[in-house]
């Protein structure tokens, strides 16, 4: 308890106010807490509940603001106004959308599986909130500092594929089922290069803790691992069903995808999870590659939010610029392009660490100086550019045209 409170300013202040009695928490100074000695468990429970509620509500407000920001920016990109009727400058449009979804009737298909049908949207939202728990918002500002934080994120986000498949399968609709199967194939395909792209970061940091990774970035890992950053951003875009990889909801092919049969607030949960995932993914990218909360002059939390919303703006920019690609191109891009590049990044990073690093203590890993990281950045930036250009030449995403037999072509022409 003491070690947790000493390293977590988010919990320490409120806990000390409630249960910081003599002999309980060394990090608590000043007068005794409001609760008597022996009730520290209640103080910790109340603190955890309050912090969780406040953090989730602030996150939901940021997600609502992001939906407004994306619609306004898309309006600017596409030469239109965007939401501007509800509230000043349309600021209350997310609130109006939420009220509309809450008041809409939720119709359950007759042939659906009730348990899985209702559980799928809840799982989607819970996954996003659980990822938020391990993202450090600033120095000593986190919900949980897990020594396997990266592994926790990988494991939790993998549940998305199960939730999506449950939604498609339980709806009792063939279009939704096809959308769910397509979604699972895409999510699993892009999960592989995404995980491999983080390996270079873990080699440099020597830890799976997100806080340790931020503290290890004497040079931003975006410069030392540009290829890993590129692969992770592209993979995250596909995982979140963002254009140009929004094949999970290809309306012209499979109606609305896996959530075709969802309405009301059940659909709202999918909508919320999709937009909130942009912020959590941006937070993970900022933590792994962009120095996390570090920055000059401004408070650390402001720096973190600035980096998160800058990455969110990047996702909006891509959505407004690139058209949707076909499903075969989407899958080929993951297996033929991103996967080999992620393997190249691992081998190059491991070789550089072996050549430049020094083993300070036998069996305790290899240490890299700041100059070593700058040398790696100077090597990896041209390697990343060359690798992307080389694989773009070697890998073709075009569909192979098979010759049509003369008799078959004549039959088609006769029918038409």
* Mean pLDDT in residue range 159-175: 87
Output the pLDDT for position 407.
Answer: 62
| pLDDT tens readout for residues 171-228 | 888 888 888 888 888 888 999 999 999 999 999 988 899 998 999 998 999 999 999 9
* Mean pLDDT in residue range 262-289: 90
pLDDT band at 248 (very low <50, low <70, confident <90, very high): low
Partnered with residue 138 across adjacent β-strands are 141
Residue that has been written with the tokens 């000390």 in this structure: 16
pTM of the model: 0.89
How far is Cα 304 from Cα 214, in angstroms, rounded to an integer? 12
Beta-carbon count within 10 A of 364 CB: 9
How far is Cα 209 from Cα 223, in angstroms, rounded to an integer? 20
| pLDDT tens readout for residues 58-73 | 898 999 999 999 999 9
Classify residue 340 by burial, with Cβ atoms within 10 Å: 0-12, 13-18, 19+.
middle
DSSP type of residue 249: G
| pLDDT tens readout for residues 42-54 | 888 888 888 888 8
Cα torsion 44, 47, 48, 54 to 10°: value is 180
How far is Cα 90 from Cα 84, in angstroms, rounded to an integer? 4
């Amino acid at each position: 308890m003491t070690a947790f409170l000493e390293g977590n300013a988010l919990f320490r202040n409120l806990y000390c106010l409630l249960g910081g009695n003599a002999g309980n928490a060394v990090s608590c100074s000043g007068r005794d807490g409001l609760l008597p000695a022996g009730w520290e468990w209640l103080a910790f429970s109340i603190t955890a509940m309050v912090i969780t509620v406040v953090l989730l509500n602030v996150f939901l407000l940021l997600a609502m603001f992001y939906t407004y920001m994306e619609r306004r920016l898309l309006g600017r990109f596409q030469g239109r106004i965007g939401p501007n009727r509800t509230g000043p400058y349309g600021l209350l449009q997310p609130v109006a959308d939420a009220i509309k979804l809450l008041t809409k009737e939720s119709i359950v298909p007759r042939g659906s599986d009730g348990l899985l049908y209702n559980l799928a949207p809840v799982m989607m939202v819970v996954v996003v909130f659980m990822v938020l728990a391990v993202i450090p918002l600033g120095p000593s500002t986190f919900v949980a500092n897990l020594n396997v934080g990266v592994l926790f994120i990988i494991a939790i986000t993998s549940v998305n594929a199960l939730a999506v498949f449950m939604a498609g399968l339980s709806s009792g609709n063939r279009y939704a089922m096809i959308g769910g199967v397509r979604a699972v194939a895409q999510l699993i395909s892009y999960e592989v290069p995404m995980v491999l792209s983080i390996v270079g970061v873990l080699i440099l940091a020597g830890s799976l803790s997100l806080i340790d990774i931020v503290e290890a970035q004497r040079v931003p890992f975006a410069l030392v691992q540009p290829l890993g950053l590129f692969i992770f951003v592209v993979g995250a875009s596909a995982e979140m069903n963002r254009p140009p990889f929004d094949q999970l909801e290809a309306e012209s092919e499979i109606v609305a995808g896996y959530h075709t049969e969802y309405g009301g607030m059940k659909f709202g949960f999918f909508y919320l999870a999709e937009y909130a995932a942009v912020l959590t993914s941006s937070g993970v990218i900022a933590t792994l590659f962009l120095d996390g909360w570090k920055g000059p002059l401004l408070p650390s939390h402001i720096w973190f939010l600035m980096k998160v919303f800058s990455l969110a703006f990047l996702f909006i920019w891509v959505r407004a610029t690139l058209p949707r690609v076909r499903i075969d191109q989407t899958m080929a891009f993951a297996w033929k392009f991103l996967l080999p590049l992620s393997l190249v990044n691992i081998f190059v990073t491991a070789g550089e660490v072996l050549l430049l690093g020094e083993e300070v203590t036998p069996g305790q890993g290899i240490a890299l100086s700041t100059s070593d990281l700058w040398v790696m950045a100077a090597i990896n930036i041209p390697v990343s550019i060359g690798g992307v250009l080389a694989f773009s030449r070697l890998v073709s995403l075009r569909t192979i045209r098979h010759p049509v037999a003369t008799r078959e072509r004549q039959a088609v022409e006769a029918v038409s």
